[in-house]
Structure 1
Amino acid sequence: MIILGLTGSIGMGKSTTSAMFEAEGVPVYDSDAAVHALYAPGGAAVAPVEAAFPGVVVDGAIDRVRLSARVLGNPEALKALEVIVHPLVGSDRIAFFEKAAAAGKDIVVLDVPLLYETGGDKRVDKVVVVTAPAEVQRARVMARPDMDAAKFAAILARQLPDAEKRARADFVIDTSQGLEPARQQVRAILQALRHPERLDDGAEAAH
């Protein structure tokens, strides 16, 4: 079973691309969704995160806005949070892979926003980077209701530059041309992985 890492900076269209892989029948492990579940009422992260950052739990769940305010721009606080959350996500991810293997899936996608930043690229077989021009990225991000320039800058500061991600990727998907071209790139990548002897030109190999 091929583990395909999917990553991309904020606003590049990664979530939409992830859904395209799912539409092609490829199981997708969404690390953000896993964290949401851990932060929800009854989630395994609620108690330890509240112990480390008192006051971030509201109505039995971790309030991500409050937590973000505590860790953004604070490397020590962020590291403390990662020490709690990463092992929990890791256990969940292993269970997901085991289920996919048992179902006979030949490819699974590991959707991780900070794949390179956390060293996650070492745990996958190939990496797809989702990209778009900087002006498209900024327009998408700034259109979000909870976003401002300072928050956008803080998020970008945690992420490798897009150019570096593209340079390190096995495949690159450009989402700036619309949904159908992106969907064709997804299909071409799956074809290339399943039949490497006839690499489709539609999959933009990064190397």
Structure 2
Amino acid sequence: MIVLGLTGSIGMGKSTVAQMFRDEGVPVFDADACVHELQGPDGRLVAAIETAFPGTTDSGGVNRAALGRAVLGDDSAMRRLEAIVHPAVQTERAAFLARHAASPLVVVDVPLLFETGGDKAVDKTLVVSAERAVQEARVLARPGMTKAKFAAILGRQMPDAEKRARADHVIATDIPLAETKAAVQRLIACMRGDEGR
């Protein structure tokens, strides 16, 4: 099995590319979706997050807006949150890899792959990238997003140029969707070929 770590800064099209892998039959572990489940109604991290950050949960689980206000811009608070969330995500990822042990290729979609040292736990890395103007337009079109919030998120992420320099593979997402899809298909064919050697 080849484990491909998929990453990219906010608004770079990572979710779209992850879906392209799924459409080609490649199992994808989505770290963000895992976090949503762990923090959702009856999620197993809700109590620990409420203890660490009182008033950030309700009947729907973690109130992401309230939690965001509690941790964004506060490195110490962010580290406390990460100490709760990251080990739980690692456990879920290990279970995913065990379930798909017979697959020649799996993708782990992790937004902060390089920032958290997660690139050391995968065989190859893929960064999705777009021009800054395209990225900004995508992000600012999201409900509730502001320039200040966008800047705070970017501040926690490694610069796109550095991610691209560290990646084994880079796929552009500011080109026609069909071209991005073709690049994904070529990469899958290449990696499945590598695995067979």
Does residue 82 of the first structure (1) align with residue 102 of the second (2)? no
Instruction: State the one-letter code of the partner of 1:12.
Output: M
Does residue 65 of the first structure (1) align with residue 60 of the second (2)? no
Q: Return the offset for 1:145.
A: 1.6
- Note the aligned Cα RMSD (angstroms): 1.1
Measure, in 2, the Cα distance between the counterparts of 1:184 and 1:95: 30
Instruction: State the one-letter code of the partner of 2:191.
Output: L
- Taking the TM superposition and a 5 Å limit, the aligned residue runs for 1:15-164 are 15-101=15-101, 104-164=102-162
TM-score by length of 1: 0.92
Extract unaligned runs of 5+ from structure 2. none
Instruction: State the one-letter code of the partner of 2:192.
Output: R
Q: Return the offset for 1:195.
A: 2.1
TM-score by length of 2: 0.97
Identity %: 56
Q: Return the offset for 1:47.
A: 0.5
Extract unaligned runs of 5+ from structure 1. 198-207
Instruction: State the one-letter code of the partner of 2:124.
Output: K
Q: Deviations over 1:45-97 (max 9, x none)?
A: 00001000000011150101100111111000000011111111111111110
**Corresponding position of 1:174:** 172
Q: Tell me the SS of whatever aligns to 2:125.
A: strand
Q: Return the offset for 1:196.
A: 4.1
Q: Tell me the SS of whatever aligns to 2:126.
A: strand
Between 1 and 2, higher relative CO (CA 8 Å, sep ≥ 6) is seen in 2
Measure, in 1, the Cα distance between the counterparts of 2:88 and 2:142: 29
Q: Deviations over 1:149-188 (max 9, x none)?
A: 1000000000010000000001100011121111001011
Runs of 4+ in 1 over 6 A off after TM superposition: none
Q: Tell me the SS of whatever aligns to 1:29.
A: strand
**Corresponding position of 1:203:** none
The alignment covers a number of residue pairs equal to 195
Measure, in 1, the Cα distance between the counterparts of 2:82 and 2:159: 21
Q: Deviations over 1:7-66 (max 9, x none)?
A: 000111000000000001000000000000000111110000100000001115010110
